[in-house]
Amino acid sequence: MARINENYAKLKAGYLFPEIGRRVAAFQKANPDAKVIKLGIGDVTRPLVPAVVEAMRAAVDEMGSDAGFRGYGPEQGYDFLIDAIREHDYASRGVTIGRDEIFVSDGSKCDSGNIQEIFATDSVVALTDPVYPVYLDTNVMAGRTGAAGDDGRYAGIVYMPTTAENDFTPALPKEHVDLIYLCSPNNPTGAAATKEQLATWVQHAKKTGAVILFDAAYEAFISDPKIPHSIYEVDGAREVAIEFRSFSKTAGFTGTRCAFTVVPKEVTAAAGNGERIALNGLWNRRHTTKFNGVSYPIQRAAAATYSSEGHRQTRDIIAFYMENARLIREGLQRAGYTVYGGVNAPYIWLRTPAGASSWEFFDRLLGTANVVGTPGSGFGPSGEGYFRLSAFNSRANVEEAIARIGRMPAK
């Protein structure tokens, strides 16, 4: 008889965002007149910008003509997109990335979830806590952990608490670890690592032989000019880091799907016999075996975000969301909340009031203000007592949500 992967039984019942969706649907069913405002999942709300729509349309027309039709494209992505990425995301910041070091894909969720496949099953994984749940869950599925304890921590994972107490700057792990997941600007805390902080991680990885898996999906939201947008702005990072980037939040592609992963040729890990193997080749092998490339019209659409028009239009939308973030941050502060993030990231991270647990506050906010957010504990045990609001919504909804939260009783 076929047998299941028992590691799935170790996972918490549901992935965080579907679980929130389920609770919200139940609330709406019981309260059909409530006008619920969703600041939960970080899903964009503004339409694709005109430059992107035009490029996508033109590419669809090409595909509908004899001369322009294309079948399978290169699994790693078309050169027109890869070259635009190299020039605008990297060369413009003094970073040289080779064509064959970029792998275009359909999302950073998939890439940051799949990357663990190229590492040994007994690799020790270090995670900042709280963090985007995909990193943990995919390692649980792969069997790199024991069961979760009563405190919500999985045996075998090295948790690096990242809270207000350490100014959202996790300490280097004391024990040996093989894989270090970092996310900056951070989902969910909104904290962004400085160049010095990233340099500390790079030095640590070089010293210990660890590989850094750096998720920069939110780099477009950085407003502080001193904060690096890529880990490769740090000397030596090419030897130890893989970077994930996405068009999802940058250009409203959550439903359109396009992202990329950078695997420099220098980054290696050891084979069983001690030989150093380039991860670029392994990821290329995995990618070409399991993925057939992002569709041509979507890659043309992604490339259009780098034209001068496309860039200006997408920057306008990011500015719009960041103004939402400012309104949320300042509105919460006026209402007496302790608030973090929202300056270099589209997420606002707040302390739940009066000792309420994250899920208690979720229920209270939904029940009293009809506003949906994300409980901090859903991102890891150290997220307990925190709560995340996202800046992705219309201005009217953000203003209304903040007004309602302001009217909520303190307890």
Asked if 330 touches ligand MLT (CB under 6 A), the answer is no
Q: How far is the CB of 11 from ligand MLT (least distance, A)?
A: 16
Residues in the chain: 411
Q: How far is the CB of 69 from ligand MLT (least distance, A)?
A: 33
Site string for ligand MLT, 186-225 (x = CB under 6 A): -x--------------------------------------
Asked if 19 touches ligand MLT (CB under 6 A), the answer is no
Q: How far is the CB of 18 from ligand MLT (least distance, A)?
A: 11
Q: How far is CA 385 from CA 165, 337, 340, 377, 382, in A?
A: 13, 12, 13, 7, 8
**Close Cβ partners of 285 (under 8 Å, ≥ 6 residues apart):** none
Q: What is the rounded distance in angstroms from the CA atom of residue 52 to the CA atom of residue 303?
A: 8
Q: Closer to ligand MLT at the Cβ: 77 or 133?
A: 133
Q: Closer to ligand MLT at the Cβ: 187 or 313?
A: 187
Q: Closer to ligand MLT at the Cβ: 42 or 380?
A: 42
Q: How far is the CB of 139 from ligand MLT (least distance, A)?
A: 16
- By rule CB under 6 A, what count of residues binds ligand MLT? 6
Q: How far is the CB of 42 from ligand MLT (least distance, A)?
A: 3
Residue nearest to ligand MLT (CB): 42
3-state secondary structure 359-402: HHHHHHHHHHHCEECEEHHHHCHHHCCEEEEECCCCHHHHHHHH
Residue 372 CB: number of other CB atoms within 10 A?
22
Q: Which amino acid is at 248?
A: S
Q: Closer to ligand MLT at the Cβ: 222 or 279?
A: 222
Which listed residue (38, 39, 42, 295) binds ligand MLT by CB under 6 A?
42
Q: Closer to ligand MLT at the Cβ: 43 or 54?
A: 43
Q: How far is the CB of 99 from ligand MLT (least distance, A)?
A: 27
Q: Which residue, 142, 74, 45, 106, is CA-closest to 258? A: 106
Q: How far is the CB of 361 from ligand MLT (least distance, A)?
A: 17
Which residues are bridge partners to 31 per DSSP? Answer: none
Q: Closer to ligand MLT at the Cβ: 267 or 325?
A: 325
Within 87-126, the residues that bind ligand MLT by CB under 6 A are: 109
**Close Cβ partners of 84 (under 8 Å, ≥ 6 residues apart):** 303, 306
Long-range contacts (CB closer than 8 Å, 24 or more residues apart) made by 206-209: 206/236, 206/239, 206/240, 208/176, 208/177, 209/178, 209/269, 209/270
Which listed residue (11, 36, 41, 278) binds ligand MLT by CB under 6 A?
41
Asked if 113 and 142 count as a contact pair (C-beta separation under 8 A), the reply is no
How far is residue 107 CA from its own chain's centroid? Answer: 10
Asked if 43 touches ligand MLT (CB under 6 A), the answer is yes
Q: What is the rounded distance in angstroms from the CA atom of residue 317 to the CA atom of residue 322?
A: 9
Q: What is the rounded distance in angstroms from the CA atom of residue 370 to the CA atom of residue 215?
A: 32
Q: Closer to ligand MLT at the Cβ: 296 or 379?
A: 379
Binding site for ligand MLT (CB under 6 A): 41-43, 109, 132, 187
